[in-house]
Amino acid sequence: MVDKATMDSAGTMIAFHLSVPYGLDIVKEQDVYKALKQGSLEGIDSPAKDALASLFNENSPASILKAVYECGSSVELARKLYREIIEIPFPRSPEWEKVNF
């Protein structure tokens, strides 16, 4: 079970949420931050990589932007990651697009 005290960061909450269908700790906070910092899923092992493809559809823009801030990334790199994900192809996120495009 995840300790509530460790769920304070958006990166941890996102990782936990994305892991639920696959099993605990499939996606780690570091995976979320790595993808956001590099603007790409490259270098992230599956199944974490596969789960991260749903990042923008499974999480609120506010949570994603908080994680961007936490890891020292930028909105532009988050947009780059989003563009890569929808080119996989993965469904677009209307909520993300309302806020960022």
Query: Is residue 8's pLDDT more than 90?
Result: no
State residue 7's pLDDT score. Answer: 61
State residue 101's pLDDT score. Answer: 58
Contact 74, 82 (CB under 8 A): no
Residue-wise pLDDT for 14-33, tens only, equals 999 999 988 888 999 999 99
Contact 24, 2 (CB under 8 A): yes
Residue-wise pLDDT for 58-93, tens only, equals 999 999 999 999 999 999 999 999 999 999 999 999
Whole-structure pTM value: 0.90
